[in-house]
Chains A and B, each alone.
Chain A
């Protein structure tokens, strides 16, 4: 069959292209140009395309498959980078990879695959697609260390039906690198990408400051009982649960303090002792990969990419969901809350700021 492979230039998606090509499929490599690489690294005269696009093309050359570079800069700037900065300015801690998967990758590339007459879109994500009685199901990868299912909860059922994830069954990253080496791909030993792709300097605050300077204005650090105990240098630098960057306010009456909430309207950061938390989490932008449940659903939820699974009941609402955790914790607004039944992703949503 004809398959579009989203090739980033890394070892994972390169291996996917290689495996599908080896299996005899007509593979069409597509690399998204998401941002001006030269501008992002701040090097004058650097090409707009980074090394990754070059690597993807060389892998396609090696495999002898068609390869195209798609200009998604404008779309990515609006749907992902601006959203990222806006989310920080609204007192949240966003997950741009989820937003990118939801828009530029799965929405746009499945549509493009259809326009190109391809039956499937394949990516290098570490998740498993298992065909169930009601269509494709999204499951965690075999390798728990690599599982990316949390980042893919917003994939719609229609998109999932059109997708292939050949790496979900791989034992570990070593196995993927071995396949890449066997296929003769030069990227077999390429280091994994780090952090947020459009912030190669690692300083996300710079990106936010440029787009939303208001999120970097100084403000007060206050305690739950209303005492102003310090100053901060921008709410975008703080996330719920954070203990760093609080300066002298880090200790209050001999107790270590942490961020409990941020309030963009007053630019205040609310702190308190560790141990406080909430057992009720409100979600927006919910996506269901099962029929939307009529009654509260018992399942396990994951509140951060590297968090543990927590038992909870999830109640679907008109525009999102209410999650009742068995044990209180400190969810960070802007992060995802993903619902699991064992290895299967049932759905998820974005954590809202607590009502104050």
Chain B
């Protein structure tokens, strides 16, 4: 079996696993006064400091959440009050669902946000909260966040950056980007599922919580934090970069797919080195994913809902791909991707493309 669906979740890094086991053996509730509580608290605060430093912020400004979705929701609900919400057309559902009334900024055909429209919209609206993703989950497209931040600041708008897919795959610094908040997720960078964080810029002094509970996280997020999960999160974020050249492997996969008739989506914009979005004209995305799975190669398409049904990608539709939007799969290489997996992918993709071409029989309306 070959796992090429890292953007869904990265395999657990061994450093994260070791840190979690250690933290599980410590036990304790970080809110407790006693020695065990203090030991748990120390694990959590070490993690907080490490993560804040890693992503260009201060430990006191990092709020742990249950994951990326909650971090996005906390930013939108916590910072958006009294502000017009403005989001990119290719944002993740974590942002879209939390901002259903938002103004939507279109993207160019290559997936990059239209900064001219953003400028116009911000000029025409009052105080705004802009939400943009640093790297797209489906195409890997890297948005010009620093430029967007300059625009936002010129118009007095706040900028929240969804860095869930970018963190761990490219340099990410809240301070460097000039944003007001940054959402990250543990399992997208090789940590365990179940933890995320919202990192706030020092100038953001107040955020209203989604969950009040026992006042944990300085009143910004109630509930006992999952200490061991957080320890794994930090350990994964600090894990040294491996020797694997993901970009070279990705290029190899793309070359093979191109030879089988694929179109690479968004390849003329800056992209994450681990991600490629491959359209096979005329072949339904969900059938491609099934065919690849049956061949032992795990990839994905669109966004699977809880039924397992794969909905057509709003990201690709926003890029103006038309029917091709329903014919693309995402291949995302994990941190430990092996050359053998790319070769298996290439072989399975070629076989699938042949069969799909043979099967392209007209169907009754």
Q: Using known A-B contacts A107-B363, A108-B363, determine if residue A116 contacts B294 with beta carbons closer than 8 Å.
A: yes
Residue of A nearest to B363 (CB): A107
Interchain CB contact under 8 A, A48 and B307: yes
| Chain A residues, CB < 8 A from B309 | 33, 48-49, 69-71
Question: How many inter-chain residue pairs (CB < 8 Å) link A and B?
Answer: 63
| Chain B residues, CB < 8 A from A47 | 306-307
At the interface, yes or no: B356 with Cβ under 8 Å from chain A?
yes
| Chain A residues, CB < 8 A from B286 | 68, 70-71
Interchain CB contact under 8 A, A117 and B307: no
Interchain CB contact under 8 A, B359 and A107: no
Interchain CB contact under 8 A, B359 and A48: no
The docked-state distance in angstroms from the alpha carbon of A108 to that of B290 is: 15
At the interface, yes or no: A28 with Cβ under 8 Å from chain B?
yes
Residue of A nearest to B358 (CB): A114
The docked-state distance in angstroms from the alpha carbon of A66 to that of B356 is: 20
Tell which of B283, B307, B363, B365 touches A49, judged by Cβ atoms closer than 8 Å.
Answer: B307
Interchain CB contact under 8 A, A111 and B365: no
Interchain CB contact under 8 A, A53 and B308: yes
Instruction: Identify which of residues 329-365 in chain B touch chain A, using a CB-to-CB cut-off of 8 Å.
Output: 355-356, 358-359, 361, 363-365
**Chain B, interface residues (CB within 8 Å), range:** 20 to 34
At the interface, yes or no: A329 with Cβ under 8 Å from chain B?
no
Most central of B290, B311, B365 by chain A CB within 10 Å: B290
Instruction: Identify which of residues 293-316 in chain B touch chain A, using a CB-to-CB cut-off of 8 Å.
Output: 293-294, 305-311
At the interface, yes or no: A112 with Cβ under 8 Å from chain B?
yes
Tell which of A68, A103, A107, A115 touches B308, judged by Cβ atoms closer than 8 Å.
Answer: A68
| Chain B residues, CB < 8 A from A68 | 286, 290, 293, 308
| Nearest-Cβ distance from residue B288 to partner chain A, whole angstroms | 9
Residue of A nearest to B365 (CB): A79
| Chain B residues, CB < 8 A from A117 | 291, 294, 355
At the interface, yes or no: B287 with Cβ under 8 Å from chain A?
yes
The docked-state distance in angstroms from the alpha carbon of A57 to that of B363 is: 28
Q: C-beta contact mask, A46-77 vs B, less than 8 Å → 1, else 0?
A: 01110001000100000000111111000000
Most central of B283, B307, B311, B365 by chain A CB within 10 Å: B307
Interchain CB contact under 8 A, A69 and B294: no
Tell which of A71, A78, A108, A115 touches B356, judged by Cβ atoms closer than 8 Å.
Answer: A115
At the interface, yes or no: A257 with Cβ under 8 Å from chain B?
no
Residue of A nearest to B294 (CB): A116
Instruction: Identify which of residues 147-172 in chain A touch chain B, using a CB-to-CB cut-off of 8 Å.
Output: none
Q: Using known A-B contacts A102-B364, A115-B355, determine if residue A69 contacts B290 with beta carbons closer than 8 Å.
A: no
Residue of B nearest to A32 (CB): B309
Interchain CB contact under 8 A, B311 and A71: yes
Tell which of B306, B307, B359 touches A115, judged by Cβ atoms closer than 8 Å.
Answer: B359
Interchain CB contact under 8 A, A57 and B308: yes
| Nearest-Cβ distance from residue A257 to partner chain B, whole angstroms | 39
| Chain B residues, CB < 8 A from A57 | 308
| Chain A residues, CB < 8 A from B293 | 66, 68
- A interface residues, how many (CB within 8 angstroms): 26
The docked-state distance in angstroms from the alpha carbon of A102 to that of B364 is: 9
Interchain CB contact under 8 A, A112 and B287: yes
Q: C-beta contact mask, A95-108 vs B, less than 8 Å → 1, else 0?
A: 00000001100011
Residue of A nearest to B308 (CB): A69
Residue of A nearest to B305 (CB): A48
Tell which of B310, B355, B358, B363 touches A71, judged by Cβ atoms closer than 8 Å.
Answer: B310
Tell which of A53, A66, A103 touches B307, judged by Cβ atoms closer than 8 Å.
Answer: A53
Residue of A nearest to B357 (CB): A115
| Chain B residues, CB < 8 A from A114 | 355, 358-359
Residue of B nearest to A116 (CB): B291
Most central of B283, B306, B308, B356 by chain A CB within 10 Å: B308
The docked-state distance in angstroms from the alpha carbon of A133 to that of B300 is: 44
| Chain B residues, CB < 8 A from A107 | 363-364
| Nearest-Cβ distance from residue A110 to partner chain B, whole angstroms | 10
The docked-state distance in angstroms from the alpha carbon of A53 to that of B306 is: 11
Interchain CB contact under 8 A, B287 and A116: yes
Tell which of B294, B311, B358, B361 touches A66, judged by Cβ atoms closer than 8 Å.
Answer: B294
Residue of A nearest to B302 (CB): A71
The docked-state distance in angstroms from the alpha carbon of A114 to that of B283 is: 13
Q: Using known A-B contacts A57-B308, A68-B308, A69-B308, determine if residue A115 contacts B287 with beta carbons closer than 8 Å.
A: yes
| Chain B residues, CB < 8 A from A33 | 307, 309
Residue of B nearest to A31 (CB): B308
Q: Using known A-B contacts A47-B307, A71-B310, A71-B311, determine if residue A28 contacts B359 with beta carbons closer than 8 Å.
A: no
| Nearest-Cβ distance from residue B261 to partner chain A, whole angstroms | 15
| Nearest-Cβ distance from residue A41 to partner chain B, whole angstroms | 15
| Chain B residues, CB < 8 A from A111 | 359, 361, 363
| Chain B residues, CB < 8 A from A102 | 364
Instruction: Identify which of residues 248-291 in chain B touch chain A, using a CB-to-CB cut-off of 8 Å.
Output: 283, 286-287, 290-291
| Chain B residues, CB < 8 A from A70 | 286, 309
| Nearest-Cβ distance from residue A57 to partner chain B, whole angstroms | 7
Q: C-beta contact mask, A131-159 vs B, less than 8 Å → 1, else 0?
A: 00000000000000000000000000000
| Nearest-Cβ distance from residue B5 to partner chain A, whole angstroms | 15
| Chain A residues, CB < 8 A from B294 | 2, 28, 66, 116-117
| Chain A residues, CB < 8 A from B361 | 111
Q: C-beta contact mask, A306-321 vs B, less than 8 Å → 1, else 0?
A: 0000000000000000
The docked-state distance in angstroms from the alpha carbon of A111 to that of B362 is: 10
The docked-state distance in angstroms from the alpha carbon of A69 to that of B291 is: 13
Contacts A66-B294, A115-B283, A116-B291 supplied; 6 other A-B pairs, CB < 8 Å: A2-B294, A28-B294, A47-B307, A53-B308, A69-B307, A103-B364
A contacts, CB < 8 Å to B: 2, 28, 33, 47-49, 53, 57, 66-71, 78-79, 102-103, 107-108, 111-112, 114-117
A-B contact pairs, 21 of them (CB 8 A): A2-B294, A33-B307, A48-B305, A48-B309, A49-B309, A53-B307, A68-B290, A69-B307, A69-B309, A71-B286, A71-B310, A78-B365, A79-B365, A103-B364, A107-B363, A108-B363, A111-B361, A114-B359, A115-B287, A116-B287, A117-B294
Q: What 10 A-B pairs are tightest by C-beta distance, nearest first?
A: A49-B307, A69-B308, A115-B359, A71-B309, A33-B309, A69-B309, A114-B359, A68-B290, A107-B364, A53-B307
